Structure 1
Amino acid sequence: MAETCLELKKIKKSFSKDETVLKEISLSIGKGEFITLLGSSGCGKTTTLRIIAGLETPDSGQVFLDGKDVTDLAPEARDVNTVFQNYALFPHMTVADNIGYGLKLKKVPKAEIRKRVAEMLELVQLPGYEKRKPSELSGGQRQRVAIARSLVNNPKVLLLDEPLGALDLQLRRAMQLELKKLQKKLGITFVYITHDQEEAINMSDRIAVMNQGRFEQIGSPDEIYNHPKTSYVATFVGNANILKGTVEAMESDQVRVSLAGGTVLAAADGNVLQAGTPVTLAVRSENIVLDETCQKGLDAEVVEKSFAGGLLRVVLELTDGTEVIASRYGIDASVQPGQKVTCFFEPENAVLVDLDTESGAES
């Protein structure tokens, strides 16, 4: 990873005796990195961002910016700016005045303010909009102004708290691309918060998946999606089936697992598992293959078939009652509810998860 820009060390935060929001989390972020804190509501991601910004003080732990401890510094004393979901623009000010407000507070000369505001408007593709009021702009344009205002001070880190949440889907996707291009052009470290998995995968260099005040897994989008470490990550990011079974034997770099009255193979990924060990497999729904001839795989019955968002979704029930979802693009499928089929998957598409909570694994 690049030289460290921002570091969190064992940050702990509680808002009451009964609720610990952050449980000694640690994270190192490289200069020029786009990292996303991904998680559901209440997982602690916004509290983490507010601690980085200086808007909250941790109960314990430290925040470092370029190697300097800034834990106790006020927000204005940190070289960090924040873009909020509601944009927080001053309604009575023009676009130019909104963007240049921070520079004005720092008593930057007026000529320099005009120059830097003009540069920011070019950067966010809004030249000629400097005299308009926020009420005269679209949602996407207001978002660009908020970003320009945050960037005009050349911060070391830009914090973005679900900045696209108020936009419609089509504009949101377009702005994802624009934000990513902007970040790469400027080389500024972005710390982005979202609960949207697709957004995180599309934009991030790395993703930190949060769950109940902890980082469940930190890695590249490919690692998070294709090599989840826990069943939570597997089901929160994308659609994964969680299958529980028992190890029968190791076969070279694969493990044979007994589940739902049959046997399957999974990639061992360097783990050595003892026979009889309970294991959990995560298999993406797009990697489940149906066999109507019932010659290969696990016995199942089709429970439901539906179509949504370009994907056909087939719900299956295995012999032990486990629900499995198979998905594919298109609406063409001959299987019908009540039909007996078998389903299977390739070993490389079955990922061992939750190994830390299950015995018998060596690596």
Structure 2
Amino acid sequence: VYLEGKDVTTEEPNKRNVNTVFQNYALFPHMTVEGNISYSLRLKRLDRARIKKAVSEALELVQLVGFEKRMPSELSGGQRQRVAIARAVVNEPKVLLLDEPLGALDLQLRRQMQTELKRFQKHLGITFVYITHDQEEALNMSDRIAVMRDGKFEQIGTPQEIYDHPKTSYVARFVGSANIIDGIVFNVNEDTVVFKNKDGNGIVARNQTNIACGQKVTVAVRSEHIKLNLITDNSNIAGLKGVVKEKSFAGGLLQIIVALADGNELIASRHGIDSSLVPGDNVIVTWARENAILVDLEGAQ
């Protein structure tokens, strides 16, 4: 483990100048807000004036001025979280570790605190390493995202890179909703790869690397890029044929599950899907070539 170029792997945690904010806050219940925030400074035996100034600045940062004498039991969940953050940053750490710090909050308060944490980070100018299983939270808050699998980094990149250009099917599924399709390439040109799925249907994807005919490939298509067209007597659209299996609303979006002839299922989920589609309808599934991303070409990094 390196911190600002220095190997701190064998150093004791209290000597690394790295602080942590836990999901359960871990506030001292017998201490006031002021006592919790100033605890580490008092351990360092700093003079009272310096401690008072540091605590005052921390309280102002987290907008809890006037709460100095309150006990943790007198605070709301969001206020306790702010105290935990103030206690962590008052030491001016080089790195702040946040271990799912918003997991215990309700949805509305969690979104509010996401905005607050971004404000804190910009104001302090220190690195926040934020652990979360919430995809939306990661995409909303991060400058860079590291997706981990079995203790290894699967992919590191900006939120846009992770979402729009996943390297593996695991990343595509883990961050956002992605449909994964396997097949064998039978035609390649400069911009396009055409492959057949196990049902023999031709499928197009954007060519991103050196792909050869006969090669097995895996493609990811985001659910919001899936288009569904009801099959009628006059239908002449090329695509995958399927049957609407399920229809539901999720987070303000209409989500439709389609069963394909080869037994696989695809999910279409976005604003503007034809709401007249019902389970049992026969549809043709299509997407734009540029929205089909080749994955699993390099594996975990």
User: Normalised by the shorter chain, which TM-score bucket?
Assistant: over 0.9
Residue from 270, 289, 294 that aligns with 2:227? 289
1:194 matched to 2:107? The reply is: no
1:138 maps to which residue?
A: 76
1:256-271 map, 5 Å: 256-259=194-197, 260-269=199-208, 271=209
Q: CA deviation at 1:317?
A: 1.3
Give the structure 1 partner of residue 141 of structure 2: 203
Amino acid at match of 1:317: A
Q: Distance in 1 between matches of 2:7 and 2:250?
A: 49
How far did residue 329 of structure 1 move?
2.5
Matched with 1:240 is 178
Q: Which residue of the partner structure matches residue 333 of structure 1? A: 275
Alignment of 1:105 onto 2:46: no
Query: Is the CA contact (8 Å cut-off) linking 1:246 and 1:277 kept in structure 2?
Result: yes
Q: Does 1:314 align with 2:256?
A: yes
CA drift at 1:212: 0.9
What is the CA deviation profile of residues 267-299 of structure 1, one whole-angstrom value per residue up to 9, with x for unaligned ones? 112x12111111110001110001114432111
The answer to whether residue 32 in structure 2 is matched with residue 94 in structure 1 is yes
Does the residue aligned with 2:298 lie in a helix, a strand or coil? helix
Amino-acid identity (%): 64
Task: Report the alpha carbon displacement of residue 78 of structure 1 after superposing the two structures with TM.
Answer: 1.0
Equivalent pairs counted in the alignment come to 294
Distance in 1, matches of 2:99 and 2:279, equals 43
The 1-side partners of 2:119 and 2:90 are apart by 17
Give CA-to-partner distance per residue, 1:57-111, whole Å, 9 cap, x none. Answer: xxxxxx1111111111111111110111111111111101100000000000011
User: 2:227·2:273 contact (CA, 8 Å) conserved in 1?
Assistant: no
CA separation in 1, counterparts of 2:255 and 2:200?
A: 24
The one-character-per-residue Cα deviations of 1:212-242 (angstroms, maximum 9, x if unpaired) are 1111111111111111111111111110000
Out of 343, 346, 350, the residue aligned to residue 285 of structure 2 is 343
Distance 2:288 2:18 in 1: 46
One-letter code aligned to 2:236: Q
Is the partner of 2:68 in helix, strand or coil?
Answer: coil
- Aligned to 1:73, the other structure's residue is in SS state coil
Cα distance in 1 for residues equivalent to 2:272 and 2:185:
36
- Could you list the structure 1 runs, at least 4 aligned residues long, displaced by more than 6 angstroms after superposition: none
SS state of the match for residue 130, structure 1? coil
Mapped to 2, the partners of 1:215 and 1:163 lie a distance apart of 22
Structure 2 partner of 1:279 = 217
Code of the residue aligned with 1:135 in structure 2: it is S
**Post-superposition shift, 1:331?**
8.1
Structure 2: distance between partners of 1:158 and 1:116: 17
Structure 2: which amino acid aligns with 1:344? T
TM-score (norm 1): 0.79
Partner of 2:243: 301
Inter-partner Cα distance in structure 1 for 2:122 and 2:92? 14
C-alpha contact (below 8 Å) 1:310/1:330 kept by paired residues: no
Contact in 2 for aligned 1:287/1:345 (Cα 8 Å)? yes
Q: Which amino acid aligns with 2:242?
A: A
CA contact (8 A) 1:295 1:342 kept: no
Unmatched runs of 5 consecutive residues or more in structure 2: none
CA offset at residue 339 of structure 1? 1.5
Contact map agreement 1:311 1:331 (CA 8 A) in 2 = no
Per-residue CA deviation, residues 181-220 of structure 1 (Å, 9 max, x unaligned), is 1101111011110111110000001111011111111111
